[in-house]
Structure 1
Amino acid sequence: MKLMGDLFNNRGYIDGITIIDLKGEILFTAKFNNKLNCDNCENYEIVGKNFFDVYENLNRDNSTIYKAMELGVPIYIDSQILKSAGRKEIKISSLSIPIKSGKKIVGAIDLSISEEDETNDDYIEISSETFEKNNVDKLSNVGNRAKYVSDNIITNNKKMLELKDYIKIAAGCDLPVLIYGETGTGKELFAHAIHNESKRKNKPFIAQNCAAIPENLLESILFGTSKGAFTGAVDNVGLLELANGGTIFLDEINSMPLHLQSKMLRVLQDGSFRSIGSKELKTVDVKIITSINEEPLKAIAEGRLRKDVYYRLNVLNINIPPLRERKDDILLLVNFYISRYNKIFNKNVKYISTDLCERLQQYDWPGNVRELENIIAYGVSVVDKSKIKLEFSDIKQRFDELIKMNGNDEVNIESLNDMVENYEKSLIKKVLMQTDNNVTKASKILKIPRQTLQRKAKQYNLI
């Protein structure tokens, strides 16, 4: 026994059966059979009629049931449109199977499921077009090579489209690039795209997160070591030499120790450096792309970024807006991630509820695109294989956890009148205390009539 899980969008049932003979006469139907469909007792008898007279948009070339009889094999189609006379179009998935009597084909049976109830105002249809054009899962990450290109940056946002255009400018010269963006905005994606747009695209692309390596190891990893530099040290090539001729991407450079930043300053100036323990001055030809996940001027003021390094890096800069400032991209990204995780989890989500879409639009996404991807991946992973709709209820638990984790719990906000009254009361109380409850002196300080102050003080039970 084999379960046919892939048929009918993993729904596990059908709601239509049609049997015809070689002449096209309908011998049996379940979709409009009142004995089988008690919820719709409309009398719409089609048995005895010609198949093409009933379904006016079909012919011998596009009808699966006719093709099954003609070819003698079962034919399955996903999302076929049916239009019967005097009725609205419906969308079905169907399996047409030829019927034999002895060795002769005498007709065919069509098993189908209707999807017309899904396309209403409560749901938005998911398109896989963006995913098929930008399926990054098909991209290979071979050795020290950049994986992504500018087309993999999914956006319709005006600011983001301008940044995509700027990639060509940043890639067209050897000047360093500083990419600023909050965590999860896609800084490394831009770094890959810049390299792949440049003349260095066939040369090494080396990426290193400066926050991921302990301070005492980062220097040796970047600049390499010379034998005898310290106990157990051997000649070891650093990342700068590995990137020679290509690009090095230093992510979160604000996490790099300041003394290493000063050493990087020399590399930025003329490409020269010394490995640890070596007297030899080495030179590399490398394009340097760096990223920072906080405002650069704030990092400078708080001692996490050297000002001279910033000026060297900030010749070309890319400032990626957070997702909360480009919410017009949310539905596009949701389309992409649902299509992606449908393939990964073998699901068939085709619709997203408008309620879920509105919730996603209302949230501020402190974790940006990465956080959105995670919540969609979770939703697709937990939704039943027989479902083709993603609802808010599917992600509610994880969504509530995110809100709580990010400190965005709903709070009771006072009305403006209450806030004004509370402030007025505290101010009057403070001035009365300063003047030993002398209403005349207090009214002069507050610059209001004595009678008004006396009335308000009594109102607030202050005198």
Structure 2
Amino acid sequence: MDEHLHLSIVDAWNFSFECIILFNEAGTIFSLNRPAARLFSESPAALMGASIHELIPSEDFKKCLQRKGKTGVSILLGTKQLVANLSFFEKNETYLLFLKDISQIQQLQHQIQELKKTKQLFNLILDQLEEGISVINEQGRILFYNLKAGEMDTLEPEAVRDKRVQEVWDVDENTSTLLTSLRTRRTLHHRETKFSSTGKAITTLARTVPLELDGNMAGAIEILKDITEQKHLSETILQLQKQTKGDSEPSNPFSSQKNNTRFQFEDIIFSSREMAQTVEQGRRSARSKSNVLIVGETGTGKELFAQSIHNESPRKDKPFIAQNCAALPESLLESLLFGTTAGSFTGAVNRPGLFEQAHGGTLMLDEINSMSINLQAKLLRVIQERKVQRLGSTKVIDIDVRIIATMNEEPLDAIAHNRLREDLFYRLGVVNLVIPPLRNRKDDLRVLIHHFITKHADLLDVSVDRVDQDVFRCFMTYHWPGNVRQLEHVIEGCLNLVYDERTISFNHLPPIFKNKIQQEERDFHQEPLTSYSGSLPEQIEKLERIMIEQAMNHAKGNITKAAEQLGISRQNLNYKLKKFQIFC
């Protein structure tokens, strides 16, 4: 039994991964195992009787010997990095030394650090791309999500990474393009229009590709490209091509039957009192020759009103030309508006400007506040003198053009931030038309929903005639930053997901839209409730005061914006501010 025990101890001694050395207080080695001999590239017999100080000439090691033992001592032996644990047995006056070669571990740690730096560098590079990039692994967990993707989805990349796709978006394996590509191993192409928190429409092209390693699925990558500007420019070019048929046709391309418009006041869908008043104001303004300034948020239907005013005016048989002032650089916009003369710049030809083409009719200048201040000054001169000069020409041309300008912000704010000349505002805003946002006229939702379902159901060949009550309630509580245009996109998106159902349900809503609705509901429920005491009129007055204060704070003191948020007129809000003595 003792012999077997001795053999087991010897085996453990020699086959241990760690180097073990026994030596006395003088430093003389009297026993060591095979790993220790291999560490010093000698045989065990050759090292018997050798001095430990000659083998390990380290000052840190000598200090450990003085302390009679220590653990975790770092020792550098040539190119090898060792860690030592030392114990002293006073009874035998013997040191027991354990040495572990951690060179390979440190190399691996160094490699891991370098890989982490490389990963961070790649992340920084991918964050600079103009495309949005999302990558998931085979379990559907998000490995990478760059800044551009976050901008498009209004999400923070750090909050998205390492989460499952279903935890970030309200999707499943059938509605998520990433999960579908992962499941089917197919490359998918998708085009989508969504709206940012400010109501701006963003059109994206997506390509989703499955990732395979050694024949096994490793994940999927989705590359999103923002084509909003390209779409805008292509629409502008198509519009210009329709408007200008070439120098060989100087005659007016419009006729009484076809003046490049599609809408009349009868095409404006509404049932609310607010929109009824706005439409009536538009009809009245159509009778005059005065310039009109239409103010409204993105997607409220400013061009629809502009075309309707033109088609009910005495100019209805004359051309209607629309130009977006934000779509083109200043130099190109100037040449389009005023025209060019051959030789005025490289490649210039004799071409009439939009003012000449719109002679006798209406020129709509969309997003006038996006036009540069310098160009606004030139525009003001044309409006005042009713004369225009082509670029590079000395000839003055008389024009008779009614201008309808539109903008998506409060004019006084645009003037204060030097985005609109005050004198141009007074010239354009002879008639002011303010289109209320959809959130302030929720009574229009039902007729608008019915209209868009009828319009797109026929085009998509589906038999849908209504929305579920839960969906309608969601629509009624949503703030609609993209207004009527966003509502139409949502309805059209729902109809694309319908098969044989006759009702649009919550499952048919686009994932991003559902996420925004759910986020708004969470924010609403997290708002603290305030208890009141007193009579009902007193409680109503207190609540009214709190809501007005909150609206003024959110609008940063802007009375017009606060009034829109509260759904009341500016005059009414002014009265209440004085009544409650609220000063912001």
TM bucket (normalised to shorter chain) is: 0.5 to 0.7
Q: Runs of 5+ in structure 2 lacking a partner?
A: 1-254, 532-584
Select the residue among 397, 400, 408 that pairs with 1:285.
400
SS of residue paired to 2:260? coil
The alpha-carbon deviation at position 392 of structure 1 amounts to 1.4
SS of residue paired to 2:382? helix
The alpha-carbon deviation at position 351 of structure 1 amounts to 2.9
Partner of 2:504: 390
Select the residue among 496, 518, 522 that pairs with 1:410.
522
Contact 1:375 1:398 in 2 (8 A): no
Partner of 1:219: 334
In 2: Cα distance, 1:378 partner to 1:183 partner: 19
**Residue 175 (str. 1) matches residue 290 (str. 2):** yes
Partner of 1:30: none
Name the one with the larger helix percent.
2
* Matched residue type, 1:305: L
CA offsets 1:102-126 (integer angstroms, 9 cap, x no match): xxxxxxxxxxxxxxxxxxxxxxxxx
Select the residue among 256, 269, 282 that pairs with 2:384.
269
Select the residue among 281, 302, 313 that pairs with 1:187.
302
Select the residue among 338, 344, 358 that pairs with 2:453.
338
In 2: Cα distance, 1:309 partner to 1:187 partner: 19
* Matched residue type, 1:400: K
In 1: Cα distance, 2:261 partner to 2:496 partner: 29
Partner of 2:488: 373
CA offsets 1:218-257 (integer angstroms, 9 cap, x no match): 0001000111111221111111100001100000000111
* Matched residue type, 2:316: K
Partner of 1:163: 278
- Sort the Cα spacing of 1:278 and 1:306 in 2 relative to 1 into closer, same or farther, 3 A: same
Contact 2:340 2:350 in 1 (8 A): yes
CA offsets 1:336-377 (integer angstroms, 9 cap, x no match): 001111101100012321111100000000000000001010
In 1: Cα distance, 2:447 partner to 2:275 partner: 13
Q: What do you get for the CA RMSD once the two structures are aligned?
A: 2.2
* Matched residue type, 1:338: I
* Matched residue type, 2:475: L
Residue identity over aligned pairs, in percent, reads 46
In 2: Cα distance, 1:372 partner to 1:269 partner: 40
Q: How high is the TM-score relative to the length of structure 2?
A: 0.45
Moved more, 162-171 or 364-373: 162-171
* Matched residue type, 1:410: R
Aligned 1:50-69 pairs, distance under 5 A: none
Partner of 2:443: 328
Q: Runs of 5+ in structure 1 lacking a partner?
A: 1-139, 419-463
- Sort the Cα spacing of 1:270 and 1:408 in 2 relative to 1 into closer, same or farther, 3 A: farther
The alpha-carbon deviation at position 396 of structure 1 amounts to 5.3
The alpha-carbon deviation at position 387 of structure 1 amounts to 1.2
In 1: Cα distance, 2:309 partner to 2:530 partner: 53
The alpha-carbon deviation at position 400 of structure 1 amounts to 2.4
Aligned 1:81-120 pairs, distance under 5 A: none
* Matched residue type, 1:189: L
- Sort the Cα spacing of 1:158 and 1:278 in 2 relative to 1 into closer, same or farther, 3 A: same
* Matched residue type, 2:507: S
**Residue 238 (str. 1) matches residue 353 (str. 2):** yes
Contact 1:182 1:294 in 2 (8 A): yes
The alpha-carbon deviation at position 329 of structure 1 amounts to 0.4
In 2: Cα distance, 1:149 partner to 1:290 partner: 18
**Residue 256 (str. 1) matches residue 368 (str. 2):** no
- Sort the Cα spacing of 1:393 and 1:283 in 2 relative to 1 into closer, same or farther, 3 A: same
Contact 2:342 2:350 in 1 (8 A): yes
Contact 1:145 1:203 in 2 (8 A): no
Partner of 2:29: none
SS of residue paired to 2:487? helix
In 2: Cα distance, 1:374 partner to 1:156 partner: 21
In 2: Cα distance, 1:417 partner to 1:321 partner: 30
In 1: Cα distance, 2:507 partner to 2:375 partner: 49
- Sort the Cα spacing of 1:282 and 1:409 in 2 relative to 1 into closer, same or farther, 3 A: farther
SS of residue paired to 2:297? coil
Contact 1:167 1:197 in 2 (8 A): no
* Matched residue type, 1:224: G
- Sort the Cα spacing of 1:416 and 1:159 in 2 relative to 1 into closer, same or farther, 3 A: closer
The alpha-carbon deviation at position 330 of structure 1 amounts to 0.5
**Residue 399 (str. 1) matches residue 513 (str. 2):** yes
CA offsets 1:63-109 (integer angstroms, 9 cap, x no match): xxxxxxxxxxxxxxxxxxxxxxxxxxxxxxxxxxxxxxxxxxxxxxx
In 1: Cα distance, 2:529 partner to 2:483 partner: 32
Partner of 1:151: 266
Q: How high is the TM-score relative to the length of structure 1?
A: 0.57
Report the number of matched residues: 276
In 2: Cα distance, 1:398 partner to 1:336 partner: 23
- Sort the Cα spacing of 1:233 and 1:321 in 2 relative to 1 into closer, same or farther, 3 A: same
- Sort the Cα spacing of 1:414 and 1:181 in 2 relative to 1 into closer, same or farther, 3 A: closer
